Amino acid sequence: EKIQEIFRVVRANNSNVIPEVFSKQIFEYAGVNIPKQEISSTEDEAVYLAKKIGFPVVLKIHSFQIVHKSDAKGVLVGLKSSDEVREGFREIIQNAAIYNKTSDKFQVTVQEMAEPATEIIIGMKRDEIFGPVILFGLGGVWVEVLKDVSLRVLPLTERDVELMFTEIKGTSLLEKFRGNEARDLASLKNLIFQLQNLVLEFPEINEIDLNPVFLYEKGHGNIVVDARIVLN
């Protein structure tokens, strides 16, 4: 089917790391909400796609050679006009050429810009002993500095997922407190089960990194803004 076809394309490029757009496409096939996204090869094409998607847009480097796009100065958010897109396209291609001298031809993805929200990360790795293990945490300093994450071995029950939400130190950011509205934990639970189904269905998926997922107020869902799937 469509997901297997993406695996074939990635392998045909002698890679096991599925680039962001294709990784998110796989999640979309699994029923997950993602921003509109298209691949452009020229400035003109990027402008055309930005107009089609609607401003503001996000531009990101698209290449089998570049995994951490920000490290390559390959992410620009909040571009509001055709001129900004034209200039942004050029800048990203230039930065990529400096960062990675081996690749000949880079492309740029044009994406819908998601409204800011609580940033969540969800990861999966296959452990030799435990099998697939899932990681859940709040994005930014919560994970990078405080290492505030929750880990569980798959498969998860609803109860397991609820416990993951409450056992991180930053859990109150997900709940209603003072001016803060509760986050849409039902949609987040659903996303975790969608990820789990992918992992159980496709043994060739070795690793998943959703970083970040934007999580909105109760009733407003979530959107996966960056994804990476690694095949074995």
- Decide if 38 contacts 109 (C-beta within 8 A): yes
CA torsion 11-61-25-160 (nearest 10°) is 100
- Decide if 150 contacts 137 (C-beta within 8 A): yes
Nearer to Mg ion, 33 or 156 (CB): 33
Nearest residue relative to ligand ADP (C-beta): 70
Does 211 contact Mg ion by CB under 5 A?
yes
Candidate ranges 21-29, 68-76, 89-97, 158-166; the one touching ligand ADP (CB under 6 A): 68-76
Does 226 contact Mg ion by CB under 5 A?
yes
Nearer to ligand ADP, 112 or 184 (CB): 112
Q: What are phi and psi of 184, to 5 degrees?
A: -80, 75
In single-letter form, the type of residue at position 1 comes to E
Nearer to Mg ion, 40 or 211 (CB): 211
User: What are the angstrom distances between the C-alpha of 179 and each of 165, 174, 175?
Assistant: 20, 12, 11
Pick from 98, 109, 95: which is nearest to 41 by CA?
Answer: 109
Six-digit token string for 81: 């006009």
Does 113 contact ligand ADP by CB under 6 A?
yes
Tell which one of 68, 80, 90, 218 touches ligand ADP (CB under 6 A). 68
Compute CA 212 distance to the chain's CA centroid, rounded to the nearest angstrom.
6
Does 143 contact ligand ADP by CB under 6 A?
no
In the range 169-228, which residues lie near ligand ADP by CB under 6 A? 211-212, 225-226
Does 75 contact ligand ADP by CB under 6 A?
yes
In single-letter form, the type of residue at position 38 comes to E
What residues make contact with ligand ADP under the rule CB under 6 A? 35, 58, 60, 68-70, 75, 77, 111, 113-114, 211-212, 225-226
